[in-house]
A = this chain, B = another copy of it.
Amino acid sequence: MYAQPVQRLIAELAKLPGIGQRTAQRLAFHILRASEEDALALADAVRDVKANVGLCEECFNLAEGPRCRICEDERRDRSVICVVEEPQDVIPIERTHEYRGLYHVLGGALSPIDGVDPEDLRIAELVQRVERGGVNEVVLATNPTTTGEATAIHIAELLRDKTTVTRLASGLPVGADLEHADEVTLGRALAGRRAVSG
């Protein structure tokens, strides 16, 4: 019913995650109404990202060259590797300004039900990095979910005799109140309780 290029744009937009047919239609009509400049900026940004962004050959974070900005940065502490599931998990950790080591991006979490096995993640590459030496600590920062925990446990086993392995603390988020905390989080907070100095 729509002109063929419009139908095609709606079909391409509807392939994006969380974008249904109606939303795709709304976005397509927005693009049709937008200025030539704005629409081409979007098209170019998509092309550009595919042409110029790949994965770091060392840590598999996003990179504009063979290695990412963090691996290239001489000031980072090369004796610590923080293991995350996806490239977007690097950002919140960097924002804390608490971490000065390197990263290792697995590309997901173990989930046998979804067919994600150890060989589908970059776990062997992590073990190789550790075996090359000079790594004093591996911080497991996979998500505090069933799959993230399973992944952390699996990696911890593999690295047990090779280096110190740590895991991000689980507990109450800062600013939360006890009354509304779920029991799993509260249980973790209790199990991980620390002595108060003072």
Interface string of A35-62 (1 = CB under 8 A from B): 0101111111111111011000000001
A42 and B46 contact, CB distance less than 8 A? yes
Partner of A46, one of B1, B9, B18, B19: B9
**Is A178 interfacial (CB 8 A cutoff)?**
no
Q: How many copies does the complex hold?
A: 2
- B contact residues around A69 at 8 Å (CB): 3
- B contact residues around A19 at 8 Å (CB): 27
In the complex, what distance in Å separates the CA atom of A63 from the CA atom of B3?
Answer: 7
Interface residues on chain A, number (Cβ under 8 Å): 51
Q: A17-B30, A29-B86, A32-B49 are in contact. Are A6 and B43 (CB under 8 A)?
A: no
A21 to chain B, nearest CB (A): 12
Query: Which residues in A have some Cβ–Cβ distance to B below 8 Å?
Result: 1-6, 8-9, 11-13, 15-19, 23, 25-32, 36, 38-50, 52-53, 62-64, 69, 86-88, 91, 94-95
